[in-house]
C-alpha cells in the first residue's frame, strides 16, 4: 500500500523550483534528486510551516 505524502505535489514542485533542482524532477522523477536536495526541501517545508503557524492566532 502506497503511503500518502504529507506535502502536496504543488508545494514540493514549488520548493524544488525555489531550490533549483526542479529540472531533475522533471527528467528523472522524485527518485532522481540527491539526498542533500531532499533534506533541503524538507528543511524549507518546515520553515514555511513554522512561518504559517507564527502568523496565525493560536
Q: What does pTM read for this prediction?
A: 0.80
Pairwise CA distance, residues 55 & 58, whole Å? 9
Cell matching residue 42:
524538507
The pLDDT value given to residue 1: 58
pLDDT, tens digit (0-9, with 9 covering 90-100), for 1-47:
566 678 899 999 999 999 999 999 999 999 999 999 999 999 999 99
The pLDDT value given to residue 2: 61
Of residues 16 and 58, the one with the higher pLDDT is 16
> Is the sign of the CA dihedral 7, 11, 16, 18 positive or negative?
negative
Helix 35-54 vs helix 9-19: crossing angle, to nearest 10 = 110
| Contact status, residue 7 vs residue 52, Cβ threshold 8 Å | no
Pairwise CA distance, residues 33 & 28, whole Å? 8
Amino acid at each position: 500500500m502506497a503511503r500518502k505524502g504529507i506535502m502536496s505535489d504543488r508545494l514540493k514542485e514549488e520548493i524544488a523550483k525555489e531550490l533549483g533542482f526542479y529540472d531533475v524532477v522533471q527528467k528523472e522523477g522524485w527518485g532522481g534528486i540527491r539526498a542533500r536536495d531532499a533534506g533541503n526541501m524538507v528543511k524549507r517545508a518546515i520553515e514555511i510551516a513554522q512561518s504559517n503557524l507564527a502568523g496565525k492566532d493560536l
